[in-house]
Amino acid sequence: MKLVPQNRFLLFLALLLWGGALLTEKPWEGGAHERTSSLVGPLFPELQRQRQEIDQIQLRSQGEEVTLLRTSTGFVVKEKWGHPASSTRVVQLIDSLSLLDNRDVVSTNPEKRTTFGVEKGSGTQILVQNSRGEILADLIGGKLRAADPFTAAQVRLDFYVRPSGRNEVFLVNAYQPPSTEASDWLAGDLFSLNAEDIALASRLEFTSGETWTLVHDGPEAWHMENPEPRDIDLYEGDSWAFSFSNLRASDVWAHLEQGETPSPEFGFSTNVFRVEMGQGKPLELRLGGLAPNSDRYAWVVGSEWIYSVPNHEVDQLCMPFSVVSED
């Protein structure tokens, strides 16, 4: 098909305009894409560099508040008498704040803040400061974006967030709403103990008078010394040692001063477990009555903290041992 002169002229004009646009935009030098990408960046561009300067993190939501304070040994939970905080959770929170970017702006209208749950007092406020009180990050985390359950590609945990003092509301997926329950931020280990290091364990239950002593004979055997000498199942012995060494606190209820012992209200005269390692001082765990969260009070003798531990973990420690059949 031949082009008539008029069409040739129009084609030539279009090519001329296109060439002029190329010379102007210069896409081979990055052009529009790079200029657009340069506008995308972190919501808190200096936070990653300043993370070692973070002195405190405040979390507020629905009347609850948690304050994480940096000390010489790590972060602690102010509302729990300065008990050590979970370093893993603190690092995850700082990482997630550092990864937030301004790519998806969904609103700049202050009247729509309530719709996205980012009005002050309605969402979760995260305030990060250094030792001079300077703000390193200040964010209000809002609602989870509704997703179409029938479109798998759209099922993502995207949340609306708004930096305090700004009108822009952003949609992000590097954010998970942090808990404002103080107990969720505790470092939950009652002690540092490897199950394989347990050489001997004993139990005394004051109410029933039940006692037993369990001896670890090596990697392949356990036996019971009292109330009567007998071998026990290897799996049961290993399971008990694993359960004991991995006990985790559900909360902390009191802080003891040096030399102070727990008051009778905790009921620590009910159940005692004593564990000896091959070397070192024996470890004694006392279980008491029910805490307000319906778990059992727990105290490691010599520790400054009174904890609670979940009932199902206590049940695992108190289960009877089976008799090994002699075949």
Q: Quick check: 267 pLDDT over 60?
A: yes
pLDDT at residue 148, as a whole number: 52
Distance CA 188, CA 210 (A): 29
Q: Quick check: 14 pLDDT over 90?
A: no
pLDDT at residue 227, as a whole number: 84
Check: CB of residue 133 under 8 Å from CB of residue 74.
no
Q: What is the mean pLDDT of residues 137-152?
A: 77
pLDDT at residue 33, as a whole number: 38
Q: What is the mean pLDDT of residues 197-201?
A: 93
Distance CA 272, CA 287 (A): 6
The tokens describing 172, both together, are 């992000």
CATH of 195-318, one of 3.30.1370, 2.60.40, 2.30.30, 3.30.420: 2.60.40
| Better-scored residue on pLDDT, 293 or 150 | 293
pLDDT at residue 62, as a whole number: 86
pLDDT at residue 157, as a whole number: 79
Name the DSSP letter for residue 19.
Answer: H
Average pLDDT across the chain, whole number: 85
Distance from chain centroid for Cα 110 = 32
> What backbone phi and psi angles, to 5 degrees, belong to 28?
-70, -15
Q: Report helix, strand and coil shares of the chain as percent, to nearest 5.
A: 30, 35, 35
Distance CA 142, CA 265 (A): 42
pLDDT digits (tens, 9 = 90+) for 23-76: 433 443 444 334 344 467 899 999 999 999 999 999 999 889 999 999 999 999
Q: Quick check: 107 pLDDT over 70?
A: yes
Continuous H helices in the chain: 5-25, 31-37, 47-50, 87-99, 113-116, 234-245, 311-318
Query: Where are the chain's structural domains?
Result: 47-185, 195-318
Concatenate the DSSP letters of all residues of 289-325 into one string.
EE-TTSSEEEEETT-SEEEEE-HHHHHHHHPPPPBPP
Closest C-alpha among 166, 147, 163, 53 to residue 101 = 163
Q: What is the mean pLDDT of residues 239-267?
A: 95
Could you identify the residue written with the tokens 């997630």? 96
Distance CA 169, CA 156 (A): 18
Q: Quick check: 122 pLDDT over 90?
A: no
Question: Does a cis peptide bond (omega within 30 degrees of 0) precede residue 227?
Answer: yes
Distance CA 263, CA 253 (A): 12
pLDDT digits (tens, 9 = 90+) for 287-313: 999 999 999 999 999 999 999 999 999
Task: Assign 270 a pLDDT band (cuts: 50, 70, 90).
Answer: confident
